Structure 1
């Protein structure tokens, strides 16, 4: 129950960053372990693409292959030290246990050239403080951060340095970044999963794209107006330079004449994938019929071995010390369809034992394991 289509539009030139819109972010995370050790990691993200990673052990930036040219810092000691010092400061002024500290700082440039900067902190997953580079002061985002705001407002030299980084150096780094060219790729997949104990199914349209012009996914077809629980999510960045969109709806399986489709539109092309209930039911019944045909076909008998070799092997079996029943089975297998009359019964019993009826039917074993009669048969009726 899945359909897929891929579209590729290749770019011939290198993507040179100069004009907007663009965003450069430094995402720092510090986590204090039970042994009072600090786990630190920083990701540098440009236009939703992770271009570098830095850890607290080496404190050295690891640039990603997507970067062709950059003048980003090659180390992250300053960000590491700022996170480490914040644990003591925040805990001393809040009297609360601090487990995780997160920081998001950087700058953005709009298409018209307007620039903005940000430096936002969170503690234990909650918004905490935000820096205003124009006034060089901090804004409290929670009651517990008031005392920390007062303390950080007094650090005039530090606040001046933060403003200089955000207003000056950050925008310069945006101008110096060059990403490697890559194809515009859009992948649309449609899934449907039946809902247990009902005649409905969950329909899911999943879109993954590197084309920034793809902004939405729509549900179309004559069944679009009859869905329940309709919702759309995205586009959301995935961190690898692509965006994800998801559309979910609840559809009826009884109305087999309805057609559902997922439509995606970009600046250069449109993609539509359809999901048809009647077609899926017909394909399912066709597969069952094909399995039944395969089940009815018997394998041709295996030809017996050459006469000379058969006589040698029969002499060996007769002279060996074997159980009489085992000797009969081996001789029956050796003669095959030319089994002597005296061994014919043993041969037939052996066939019934190793090759039961319907042994090549996948449903045969499934029915037995589910508690149904092993010789049960099923039919598929298309409504």
Structure 2
């Protein structure tokens, strides 16, 4: 029993397909007996070869794998994934019983791999079944036909080819639902990766007057460690501005980052919004202009300068007047002193003469 269980474990852990196209969505289903003779079910979802969901009985919770899955899917999305896993559990348990009722040996382990690969040539759905580690059946989503891959599977293929309603559902999944789910997951993954990589991106939007012109220069500066693939434009009320367009950079910024600057000229209408739009793959960043000109902040300086200069001039006049008054006061005091001294000296001389 232990050897048989080890063999089944190896079969479960071995994926049905290897080297799938890099752009693929694959659902792997396994129905198997565990060591306690309990029939279990497992569903694994792979996006471009990476496990993104895993669901197992008895919990039947489709648990997200990578961080981007949990961070980009809503609680409603995750609940729908749980519901889908439960539906697949009941469906595959029923099909496992159907197979065991029609074949001459026991299906100890049932494996199924279905999904789609996508490349420049188109979409290629697949649906492959394996019983006890051996190829068993394939289903063609386009023709809606089952093909037996072993003598053991012939009665199953014949019976399942009569189930047109179920076959139609499988065909819709392979040709439409699989592609739709793949595109949704891919877009959310790419958006999360770009947001993670662009989290340190700095975007500044400002404007300045053009001397001798009624136009205003609008500028957008973008700084990041990687500016490859960026598309930048300045817009007025959502429409691109192209007058006087100048693009500078990317230039090294001295700290390992690079900076690119876009400048356009426009007759600013204060009732319309102006924005810098940055796009790259799934990234879509929009930064508004706050409506201030660089010289608006500097326009306070002449006022302050006039006040300071006026205060200094007034202080200078007051100081000058004080000095003049002080000098005149000191000069009068000395004159009186000299007169008294002279008078005293004359009196002394007169006294001496008289003596």
TM interval, shorter chain, is: 0.3 to 0.5
Greater Cα radius of gyration, structure 1 or 2: 2
More helix by share: 2
| Structure 1 length-normalised TM | 0.40
TM, length-normalised to structure 2: 0.43
